[in-house]
Amino acid sequence: MKFDRRVEEVQAFDKAGKYILYWMQGAFRTRYNHSLEYAKYLSNKQFLPLLVLVVVDFSYPEGNFRSFKFFLEGLKDVSDELTSQKIGIDMVVGRFQDVLRPYIENAKIMVTDKSYLPNLINMKNTIYGENKITVYQVDTNLVLPVNLASPKREYAAYTIRPKILKHLEEHRHDFEEFKYNGAFLHPKIEIDLDNIENELIRQNLIFVSPAPYVGGYKEAKKNLDDFIGNKLKYYKDFRSDPNKDIESNLSPYLHFGNISPIEILNELEKVKGNPENYYSFQEELVVRRELSHNFTYYSNELKNLENLLPSWAIKTFDEHEDDKREYVYSLEEFEDSKTHDEIWNASQRELKKRGKIHNYMRMYWGKKIIEWSINIEDAYDAMIYLNNKYALDGRDPNSYVGILWCFGLHDRAFKERKIFGKVRWMSKGSLIRKFDLNKYIKN
């Protein structure tokens, strides 16, 4: 099989079973999904039907109305597509452990998507340990499997880039599709996917108003086509301008695994155009994104800054911890855009309204929270809280690493200044000189 290096046998336990179970947990799509293909392959080999299971746990940490709406919209595409391929799909509401137990009892083998965040990795390991079944994890959400790219936490983009580029061609073409020959197990769908808002109201979730993006593969593909047709040609020169929407807006779709980065790359390559734009995008989609996954995958936890930041950054922040802060805001003031800085307030409004902040403004948003917080721990907690609550692409390896970058992760030391020490600072003055932000503020 072309992608066997993506497949990892986590535990082996020979037992009888009625089907091959694919617990779809991180790759909510049917296209370019190596886990699904591997499950099909096993089911053909074992002469057993395939059953795909999605567990919808409405008590999932940091989940809310906004994020669940996007997630469920994506499930509609999955359910329609699998049903048309005559593959059984169950969508069941409940806690992961509780829902999985009876399914695992009846399965011969379980296949699932590999995770990259410590809380998910630990949760899955607990579930595997409690159940006697052979488990395969498949690395399908990265262009290069995380442990093949590197066996350790990388220092910065320049250390991981050559490792990724060396094997990129090989892995972006390792996808292989299998024709499913097994029986169709009749689907059991416990969610009303035709009335998602009503379904969510019944669940009493924390209310965050829906963002203007619809989840699922079809919408992801529309965004991709729009990007290729209208934006790619400007990407290198204008991706940083907050007034121009020269970004793919694919991050929410990548977060929920609605689209594969391999498909994105392959579609882009067909049109390539000016190679500078293509390689500039590849740098973000592959090098930066996979550096984030490398970091969270090799981190035991994501809460304590002293375990997450390079020692030079911790040292320099320590040396400046008593520096006077000109402004200090509470979490509520940040959340309600009540700072003295209209530009910052606009970026927070963008987060609340759009479910993401323009890439360049995201850096400003983060740097200023550090500058206006009483200490770096409060700043980190506020950023994680706000990003994970409002951003559709939140709770992702990119969320943690994007935020930690503001504190010096994967960056170098700069000229020393107050509060930040040697960590890179961002000035409002230079932002205003670069872009006409009156337009951004009015949006």
Ligand X SMILES: Cc1cc2nc3c(=O)[nH]c(=O)nc-3n(C[C@H](O)[C@H](O)[C@H](O)COP(=O)(O)OP(=O)(O)OC[C@H]3O[C@@H](n4cnc5c(N)ncnc54)[C@H](O)[C@@H]3O)c2cc1C
Residues of this chain that bind ligand X (CB under 6 A): 239, 247-251, 254-255, 284-285, 288-289, 292, 359, 362-363, 366, 387, 391, 393-394, 396, 398-399, 402-403, 405-406
- Minimum CB separation of residue 312 from ligand X in Å reads 19
Would you call 124 helix, strand, or coil by DSSP? helix
Please report how the helices 96-106 and 118-130 are oriented relative to each other, as an axis angle in degrees rounded to 10.
Answer: 40
- Minimum CB separation of residue 119 from ligand X in Å reads 15
Residue 415 CA to residue 313 CA, distance in Å, equals 13
- Minimum CB separation of residue 378 from ligand X in Å reads 15
CA distance readout (Å), 151 to 98, 148, 154, 233: 33, 7, 9, 36
Residue nearer to ligand X on the CB measure, 317 or 405: 405
CA distance readout (Å), 231 to 19, 210, 244, 262, 437: 45, 25, 10, 19, 21
- Minimum CB separation of residue 93 from ligand X in Å reads 26
- Minimum CB separation of residue 227 from ligand X in Å reads 7
Tokens 């037992």 belong to 15
- Minimum CB separation of residue 371 from ligand X in Å reads 13
- Please enumerate in sequence order all residues whose Cβ is within 8 A of that of 212, keeping only pairs 6 or more positions apart, or say none: 353, 354, 355
Residue nearer to ligand X on the CB measure, 134 or 398: 398
Neighbours of 83 (CB within 10 A): 15
Q: Which of 328, 350, 349, 332 is nearest to 340 (CA)?
A: 328
Residue nearer to ligand X on the CB measure, 406 or 419: 406
Beta strands 188-189 and 19-23: pairing type? unpaired
Q: Which helix (H) or strand (E) holds 20?
A: strand 19-23
- Minimum CB separation of residue 250 from ligand X in Å reads 4
Residue nearer to ligand X on the CB measure, 51 or 406: 406
Q: How far is CA 397 from the centre of its chain?
A: 6
Residue nearer to ligand X on the CB measure, 109 or 144: 144
In the bound state, the residue with its beta carbon closest to ligand X is: 402
- Minimum CB separation of residue 332 from ligand X in Å reads 20
Helices (H), 173-304: 196-202, 217-226, 235-238, 251-255, 261-271, 275-282, 289-297
Residue nearer to ligand X on the CB measure, 44 or 339: 339
Structure-token pair, residue 443: 């949006």
Residue 220 CA to residue 430 CA, distance in Å, equals 34
Residue nearer to ligand X on the CB measure, 84 or 430: 430
- Minimum CB separation of residue 262 from ligand X in Å reads 13
Residue nearer to ligand X on the CB measure, 7 or 224: 224
Residue nearer to ligand X on the CB measure, 99 or 285: 285
